[in-house]
Structure 1
Amino acid sequence: EGRSLGDPETIAYGLIPRAHRGIVAVNELPDLAERIQVAMLNGMEERDIQVRGYTLRLPLDVLVVASANPEDYTNRGRIITPLKD
């Protein structure tokens, strides 16, 4: 039986949706693009995410552990202000 692209069974889930009820570790947070940092923050605040192109919202319950080298991160990238808390 074939499936349409709009069927939730056809979605290829990324790393974050697959980490539901798990731990996400990010080494060198400043190396992530700011738009990805914002997406991570939104997911942590909303506690769910939406897969691009689908109306399906997935629950998100993760522990995020991130690191940054304070001596070097101003030269390589920046951490968005809300993630510094």
Structure 2
Amino acid sequence: MTAKTSESGSKAGGKRGGLAGAMTPGRITVLVLAALALIFIFENTRSTEIRLLIPLVTMPLWLALLAVGIIGALVGGYFMRRRR
């Protein structure tokens, strides 16, 4: 019985659990920036011409911005993973 008490005591004193442990200032900043980026993307809905090396493509600006944002997030995630 004392072994269980010491295990639960070590777990309780370790990490913060629940929502308080998940919401760090860095994560809040990332969520706010992501929300602002999505607002910017979806406010720009007109069509635009984009040159993709050789072809000229007409597409909604929000789709082009979203695609570039996703590519940027993937590249950033790749380099952060390699850094560890």
| Structure with the higher strand share, 1 or 2 | 1
With the shorter chain as reference, the TM-score category is under 0.3
Q: Of the two, which has the highest radius of gyration?
A: 2
Bigger RCO (CA 8 Å, 6+ sep): 1
Task: Please give the TM-score of this superposition, normalised by the length of structure 2.
Answer: 0.24
Task: Please give the TM-score of this superposition, normalised by the length of structure 1.
Answer: 0.24
